[in-house]
A and B are shown apart, each in its own frame.
Chain A
Amino acid sequence: MSSEALERREAVRTDRRARYERMVEIRAVEDKIRGLFAEGLVHGTTHTCQGQEAVAVGVASALRPTDVVCCTYRGHGHALALGLTPLQVCGEIMGRVVGSIGGVGGSMHLCDMSVGLMPTFAIVGAGVPVAAGAALTAQVRGTDDVAVSLFGDGAANIGAFHEGINLAAIWKLPAVFICENNQYGEYSPIAATTPIENIAERAGAYGIPGEVVDGQDVDAVCAAVEAAAARARAGEGPSLLEMKTYRYAGHSRSDTAPYRPEGELEEWYERDPIDTFGARLVAEELLAVEEIVEIEASAKALAAEVAEQCMAAPAPGVGSMFENVLV
């Protein structure tokens, strides 16, 4: 699995067309996952990232597989972008042995260290100081790896955010803190919980660079992360990037997002990250218009096939709950 994940990672690192295909894949897999939950075929909960695919693929494209990523429970897109296969991701969500950690984690708990994905965090903000710690390892050992923390706008108000970034700033750790501002923390709009418009402004409080980035533009995301990572690798310390994006679905599978103002979703659809990037690639003649339909159809077919594979795969044995508790 690891070598396949690495190949998939290499594809998005080097090929913009592959980035487009990956974004389409993420959307198809996420749609399929929501469908499976709606049909009652999966238990528990799930948090999907439709609308945020450019952030996932842009970040993965800018990093090396030896960099470490601390990501949240809204992490299927990031996992797929970083290289995990749809089978690893769907298998975990469906609690099957083919999942990335054998089906004992579920939707919120993906991991594959071969491409740098640390166990994803289901506690808001918890990954921020952990990323600082991973960056400390790079600093102490003298490698040029960076650690990336991905978190939502809701996490910008929890203590771990401040403590983690402050620590990284005073120690000049090679970390990149990336806020995915999808406008809502659970059910609350950002304006109700946060007194400033741009979370990136908080970088000033820690004396580090902060930048607002168009999170619907995969090229912009990739460029911003590359620049921040280069700065970190050069020993110049951490940065805070704020990706402005939007969560098409509700917070979790049971949330229909009735709190959204009328017309807001439709406005963001106009700036859909996949459509925008597809049109750009067509304009650059890297993609033919007719290929768009083919890529979407093949992603949907793949998602359906993977879901079938997962349903056919065995559930983990009882003994698995006793594994990896203590080393």
Chain B
Amino acid sequence: MARMRMNQAIAAAIADEMRENPDVVVFGEDVAVAEGPFKTSAGLLAEFGPLRVRDTPIAEMGFMGAAVGAAATGLRPVTEIMFVEFLGVALDQLVTEAAKFSYLSGGAVNVPMVMRASVGAGLGFGCQHSQVMESWIVGAPGLKIAVVSGPHNAYGLTRAAIRDDNPVAVLEPRVLYAGRGDVTTGPEGIIPLGRAAQPAGGDDVTLVCCGSTVRTALEAASGAEGWSADVIDLQTLQPWDAEAVLDSVRRTGRLATVEECPYSGGWGADIVSTVATEAFGDLSAPPIRLTAPDVHVPFGKELEQRYLPNAGYVAAQVGELLATGESPPHWWERDGALA
């Protein structure tokens, strides 16, 4: 057990995997000499040298493609997309090449690569550097997606992702990099992909969250009056832990997803759909989704905070659901909300 910031936990996870396996290499923009703009590769160049830790040109399509080729031929590359938006120019390599190579080789070629990317709003970076964009990749067969929510699972999920024989995207909320927490290091700290965590328990509602919304949900649940919640941190969005969610909803009878992304196409739609299909008879209220609106992430501090689903909003919406048994309107749909 060690106390560290989330960016330190990520660097520690990569370093531990690099010590154990000489096939693990790291490359991306300014990840070597500068140790990453968010310091998520601190110490790697010094310990493992320039053969295994490399700075690339600003060329995501190129270095993502290189990761595919390196992984297909035996290495385990860990690449960093500095801001997930930059994945846009490299999406072909992740979704159309890496995720399909096993299929297109009759199982002869695996692509054990990791794409780490910083995601999300909250730091005033404006609308081209504040998205989560998991919807770009969540529907891509052949790809796993982990979303970290703090130092502990950032360490454990990153190690699991590097060990996985599939291409894995690891999404890291930027706003959490500096947060401190206790981390179980070493092999016992590895967190299997596909399994959710439950950081809080309760009886009345299941709050399903991941990444930055885990603390939002926890804060809402801890301040709740008159109700208590199971808080489920999915940890992996693809494949997601349906069993954990269904088990909880069958007990609580209510579901609310807490998502940082815009409403349309958000990951929560899959959760709601599965719960409504598999556990319809156990529901005592309609499942609801608490998301950002279908707009760009605004820049101004007050606007950006209003854009994100915060703990007060989660608590209010869930309270209304419990009181009325009906789905409450989104905040932006209410009278006077946009005045």
Contact = CB atoms under 8 A, between A and B. Distances in A.
Contact of A119 (B61, B73, B100, B144): B100
Nearest to A109: B104
B166 A104 contact: no
Contact of A137 (B74, B101, B106, B142): B74
B108 A126 contact: no
A190 B108 CA distance: 36
Given A129-B93, A163-B62, A111 B69 contact: no
Interface string B48-65: 000110101101011111
B103 A325 contact: yes
Interface residues of B, number: 46
A163 B57 contact: yes
Given A123-B96, A163-B59, A133 B70 contact: yes
A318 interface: no
A136 B66 CA distance: 8
A270 interface: no
A108 to B, nearest CB: 9
Given A134-B73, A167-B63, A101 B106 contact: yes
B234 interface: no
Contacts of A139: 51
Contact of B102 (A123, A129, A141, A327): A327
B109 A133 contact: no
Contacts of A130: 65-66, 68-69, 72, 93, 97
A111 B108 contact: yes
A132 B72 CA distance: 12
A118 to B, nearest CB: 6
Interface string A282-301: 00000000000000000000
Given A118-B72, A133-B68, A167-B57, 18 more contacts: A111-B104, A113-B108, A121-B97, A123-B92, A126-B65, A133-B71, A135-B69, A136-B25, A136-B70, A137-B75, A147-B73, A159-B62, A160-B92, A167-B63, A170-B57, A171-B54, A326-B144, A327-B110
20 contacts: A101-B104, A111-B108, A113-B109, A126-B97, A129-B61, A130-B65, A131-B69, A132-B62, A132-B65, A133-B71, A133-B73, A135-B69, A140-B51, A160-B65, A163-B65, A166-B59, A167-B57, A167-B59, A170-B57, A324-B105
Closest 4 CB pairs of A and B: A133-B69, A129-B65, A163-B62, A133-B66
